[in-house]
Structure 1
Amino acid sequence: MPITSTLVLVHGFWHGSWCWSEVIPRVVAAGRPAVAVDMAGHGLYARRPRWFTEQPYDPEAVGPEVSPVADVSLDDAAELLTSQIKRIGGGEPVTVVAHSAAGPVLTRVAQQAPELVAHAAYLSAYMPASDVPAAAYTRMPEAAGDQVAPLLRGDPSQIGALRLDFATDDAVYRQRLYEAFYADVDPALADAATGLLTPDGPMGIMLGTTTLTRDGWGSVRRTYLTCTKDRAIGPALQARFIAEADAAFPDHPISVVPLDASHSPFLSMPDELADIITSLG
């Protein structure tokens, strides 16, 4: 596949297409077309719960309110991404880079329409095995160091979302958010990014499963970009994703590229990340 295939960049939970704004100019300057898109339930498709915008802020209201994106499923997210890929690529295959919780969405799209995905790249992303929901990995031993889970508010099974409280002025909570997502990002830039986050990640995306086949996802060229300092999806869990995929499709192993970064290299090292994804075929 020619190296000029368009790059489609997909953010993770709570973020939006804006998080790639430091990477895209560098990629385009290198001669590679690139487009960032919003995932279902995020960015322009986000819907904010009432507690997030009502004044005065009521911390007691954060946990119980059912999320306005509780009905967003993995099916919905994959359908949206597929339509975006078709529009951007004009029917030609594109290279997709998925961060964090966008991983299961990319996997579903590559399984259902492998002809549309020239290369599937996972940036410290969930890459669940066949018929395993991404949510299952949050309970595995390799996820023991996850620093995001303790920050979640409400019961995901009741509110339909993984919810973070970006409205709070609790300095300790906000510092822990910084450490989980942006530990190696300039604090001023991290603060600006935090102001753009939306509180609810649709639980349905994490609960959906995809049956992987040799002529589907197994046929697509794949790369995993590990983040060695990640505190949201730790190195041990990243290694498990890679090992499971290689065990399932040993004749088509995943290429691995390490980044000495925390969870958000698109902000902490945009030059290095841009160089890597620009080189993806």
Structure 2
Amino acid sequence: MSSITYVLVHGAFSTAAAWGPVARELTLRGHRALAVDLPGHGLDARETGMVGISTDDDVAAVTDVVRALDGPVVLVAHSRGGLTATAVANEVPELLAHVVYVSAWCCVTGGPSTYVTPEPSALDALAPRLLTADPGEVGELRVDFGTTDPGALDALQEALLADGTRAELLAVLATMDRRESLAIDEDAVRVDPARWGRLPHTYVRLAADRAVLPALQDRFVAEADAVLAEPFTTAELATSHVGAQLRPGPLVDVLVGLTPP
């Protein structure tokens, strides 16, 4: 039995349940895996929703989990979860053996608000159709993932799981939260070369991703490589944004191939 623990951090509107297939596959291969619900998500849902939850809260939640574990920890993040992973690695690099980004945000030259792409992602284009309240008025993002609108479902399929079935998409949407935090500490979620840069880091590029476009994934890697002595180790999977989690074999092949120091 490996002493490594893979700590899995979900993305926006997601929950620990999204990592279920990956955690199961890792466990069946003899490894330890723990998927975390970030504050306000999944089983940590609150009556007040995501209002008042910040980057600091996310970092504290993940750091508490990492501190409680024995042996080396590989921190694995998907999508917006990369912001949390970066902030955790900046804060406590000594607690981690490796940090892995799966089509995840890895900000280097600025905060996430500076990464505006010429081509909007399929998810960006869809967002206004799914919003159920003005974020400025309610203090959080609220969306309707329970929509029955065929056009919206087609757009969600394209954005999240173009290589999957409608039944698979509906199962994924059923696990997702309908609220997300607005509060992001743009400085905390930027790579600190002196601390984050001490860690081995891997980027898993999802070539068919329409939510975090491959061009943006490539930018994260190129910017990090430009300021760090050690470049990203990279891997590429020909799958969609959530396809890598839903059909976990190829991603788990990458994860178990990592060699912590």
In structure 2, the partner of 1:146 is 121
Q: CA deviation at 1:14?
A: 1.2
Matches within 5 A, 1:16-165: 16-47=15-46, 68-87=49-68, 89-90=69-70, 92-129=71-108, 132-137=110-115, 139-141=116-118, 144-152=119-127, 153=131, 154-165=133-144
- 1:103-137 deviation digits (Å, cap 9, x = unpaired): 0100011011001111000000010115x222332
Evaluate the alpha carbon distance shift between residue 206 and residue 264 of structure 1 in structure 2; reply closer, same or farther with a 3 A threshold: farther
In structure 2, the partner of 1:229 is 208
SS in 2 for 1:205: coil
SS in 2 for 1:35: strand
CA distance in 2, matches of 1:240, 1:214: 17
- 1:182-212 deviation digits (Å, cap 9, x = unpaired): 2112322221111121112212137563454
CA distance in 2, matches of 1:211, 1:267: 25
Evaluate the alpha carbon distance shift between residue 213 and residue 149 of structure 1 in structure 2; reply closer, same or farther with a 3 A threshold: closer
- 1:46-88 deviation digits (Å, cap 9, x = unpaired): 347xxxxxxxxxxxxxxxxxx731211111111111111112x
With normalisation by structure 2, the TM-score equals 0.89
Contact in 2 for aligned 1:184/1:268 (Cα 8 Å): no
With normalisation by structure 1, the TM-score equals 0.83
Evaluate the alpha carbon distance shift between residue 47 and residue 136 of structure 1 in structure 2; reply closer, same or farther with a 3 A threshold: farther
Contact in 1 for aligned 2:50/2:140 (Cα 8 Å): yes
- 1:223-265 deviation digits (Å, cap 9, x = unpaired): 000000101000000000001101111x111111001011013
Evaluate the alpha carbon distance shift between residue 256 and residue 101 of structure 1 in structure 2; reply closer, same or farther with a 3 A threshold: same
In structure 2, the partner of 1:197 is 176
Evaluate the alpha carbon distance shift between residue 212 and residue 182 of structure 1 in structure 2; reply closer, same or farther with a 3 A threshold: closer
CA distance in 2, matches of 1:239, 1:188: 31
CA distance in 1, matches of 2:153, 2:187: 30
CA distance in 2, matches of 1:21, 1:216: 30
Question: Which structure 2 residue ranges, 5 or more long, are not aligned?
Answer: none
In structure 1, the partner of 2:197 is 218
Say how many residue pairs are matched: 255
SS in 2 for 1:204: coil
CA distance in 2, matches of 1:134, 1:155: 21
Q: What percentage of residue pairs aligned between the two structures are identical?
A: 34
CA distance in 2, matches of 1:17, 1:36: 5
CA distance in 1, matches of 2:170, 2:153: 10
Runs of 4+ off more than 4 Å: none
SS in 2 for 1:28: helix
Question: Which structure 1 residue ranges, 5 or more long, are not aligned?
Answer: 49-66
Evaluate the alpha carbon distance shift between residue 40 and residue 208 of structure 1 in structure 2; reply closer, same or farther with a 3 A threshold: farther
Contact in 1 for aligned 2:204/2:234 (Cα 8 Å): yes
CA distance in 2, matches of 1:206, 1:171: 36
Evaluate the alpha carbon distance shift between residue 93 and residue 220 of structure 1 in structure 2; reply closer, same or farther with a 3 A threshold: same
Evaluate the alpha carbon distance shift between residue 197 and residue 211 of structure 1 in structure 2; reply closer, same or farther with a 3 A threshold: closer
